[in-house]
């Protein structure tokens, strides 16, 4: 049985793509007969390969949406709309990967005139931590606070405060007892801040609990009525109104994470 059939001499000479006259055919090359027949040669393997190569760029399949969403071309823009934050303005520009961080003692009490979301006594300024700094920062704070003991502090004197950017004014109640213990804790916090090359707390801090605030610099206006407000505090129905803070647990807020440091009795 013949495995390969060759065309006759007349077929080769009459074929437009045949062997040139006077040139011996290469019998080592074998092609299916249908590759040499008239037509577009669509069944020829070589022709098929060329067609695939030519058509492949235009037939590229699109990536699934679930994969595209994992690698967005443009990051979602950050809005600085102060109306979304009760009119407050950022002290520093938001950047992806930066975590606003501050240290404080929580205070569990409520005041009718205070629209504050949470009452606390600040022990640091708000600083910026990169995400990979958070854990070593927290470990440093924990180690430094080991010798600090639990204590009680009180506040009873009203005072007006304004931030450095003059964008917010606060009515606060200043600490009158426990000042020395608070300074000791601030020294511990400042050491950690210094290790991370961050701004430390104020040189002569006025420890206080903010009761109310407003947007803008209204220091003069609030100071003018401060005496009258202080009379309301001092002439409370039963006794002069005084805030007592059980400083038993220090907290550090970094972005949406809150870390707690219980102090020994």
**232 occurs within a structural domain:** yes
Q: Could you tell me the pTM of the whole model?
A: 0.60
Residue 157 placed within a domain: yes
What is the span of the domain harbouring residue 232? 95-262
Task: Quick: pLDDT tens for 185-235.
Answer: 999 999 999 999 999 999 999 999 998 888 888 899 999 999 999 998 898
Q: Is 209 part of any domain?
A: yes
How many structural domains is the chain composed of? 1
Instruction: Please pick, among 132, 208, 227, 236, the residue that the annotation labels catalytic.
Output: 208
Place of tokens 């600040």: 122
In a domain, 158, yes or no: yes
Alpha-carbon torsion 234, 239, 241, 244, what sign?
positive
Candidate list 85, 120, 197, 236, residue with the active-site label: 120
Q: Is 208 a catalytic residue?
A: yes
CATH of the domain at 229: 3.90.1140.10
Instruction: Assess if residue 128 is contained within a domain.
Output: yes
Comparing 31 with 154, the larger pLDDT belongs to: 154
More confident residue, 16 or 141: 141
Tokens for 138? 């927290």
Asked if residue 131 has pLDDT above 80, the reply is: yes
How confident is residue 107, by pLDDT bands cut at 50, 70 and 90?
low
Judge whether 186 lies within some domain: yes
| 85 noted as active-site residue | no
116 compared with 228, residue with greater pLDDT:
228
């Amino acid at each position: 049985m013949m495995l390969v059939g060759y065309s006759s001499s007349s077929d080769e000479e009459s074929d437009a793509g045949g062997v040139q006259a006077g040139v011996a055919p290469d019998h080592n090359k074998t092609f299916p007969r249908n590759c040499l027949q008239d037509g577009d040669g669509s069944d020829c393997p070589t022709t098929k390969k060329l067609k695939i190569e030519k058509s492949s760029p235009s037939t590229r399949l699109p990536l699934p949406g679930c994969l595209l969403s994992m690698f967005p071309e443009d990051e979602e823009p950050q809005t600085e709309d102060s109306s979304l934050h009760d009119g407050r303005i950022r002290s520093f520009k938001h950047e992806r990967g930066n975590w606003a961080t501050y240290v404080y003692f929580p205070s569990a009490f409520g005041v009718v005139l205070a629209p504050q979301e949470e009452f606390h006594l600040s022990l640091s300024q708000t600083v910026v931590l990169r995400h990979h700094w958070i854990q070593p920062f927290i470990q440093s704070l924990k180690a430094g606070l080991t010798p600090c003991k639990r204590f009680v502090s009180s506040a009873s004197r009203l005072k007006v405060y304004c931030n450095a950017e003059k964008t917010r004014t606060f009515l606060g109640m200043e600490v009158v007892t426990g000042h020395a213990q608070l300074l000791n804790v601030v020294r511990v916090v400042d050491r950690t801040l210094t290790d991370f090359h961050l701004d430390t707390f104020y040189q002569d801090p006025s420890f206080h609990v903010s009761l109310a605030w407003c947007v803008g610099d209204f220091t003069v206006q609030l100071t003018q009525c401060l005496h009258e407000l202080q009379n309301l505090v001092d002439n409370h129905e039963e006794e002069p109104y005084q805030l007592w803070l059980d400083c038993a647990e220090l907290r550090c807020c970094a972005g949406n994470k809150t870390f707690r440091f219980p102090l020994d009795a």
